[in-house]
Amino acid sequence: NVPEDQADKLLLASWGLPKAVLEKYHSLGVVQMFEWQAECLMLGQVLEGKNLVYSAPTSAGKTLVAELLILKRVLETRKKALLILPFVSVAKEKKSYLQ
C-alpha cells in the first residue's frame, strides 16, 4: 500500500507532468491512480529507467502505468520512446490522445 505520507502520489498532478498532459487525462476522467499503480511507479529505480514487470487483469489500468513512465522519461531525457500495443484499436486510441 502507498504510505499515508505519500497519499498525494495517487494524484496524477503530483508526478510532474505538463499541464496539457494533465488536462487531457482529466478530460478522460483520469485524475488519480489506483494504489497499485502508484506503488509500481515508486518501486526501486523504475522512474530512472530500470525495468518493471507487473501483471493485472484486463482493463485494470496497466497502460496508465506504462504511459506515465514513458511520458516522464521522454520529457526528462528528451529522447524518443517506443510503445508497443497488442491491438490496432488500442494503438489508434493512444495515438489520438498522445499526439
Number of folded domains that form the chain: 1
Residues 6+ apart with CB under 8 A from 75: 17, 18
pLDDT at 98: 73
Q: What is the mean pLDDT of residues 1-25?
A: 86
pLDDT single digits (tens) 75-86:
889 998 888 888
- For residue 86, the domain's CATH number is 3.40.50.300
pLDDT single digits (tens) 23-43:
989 998 999 999 999 999 988
**Residue 65: pLDDT band by 50, 70, 90 thresholds?**
very high
**What's the whole-model pTM score?**
0.81
First-last CA distance in the chain: 33
pLDDT at 81: 87
State which residues form the domain around 40. Answer: 2-96
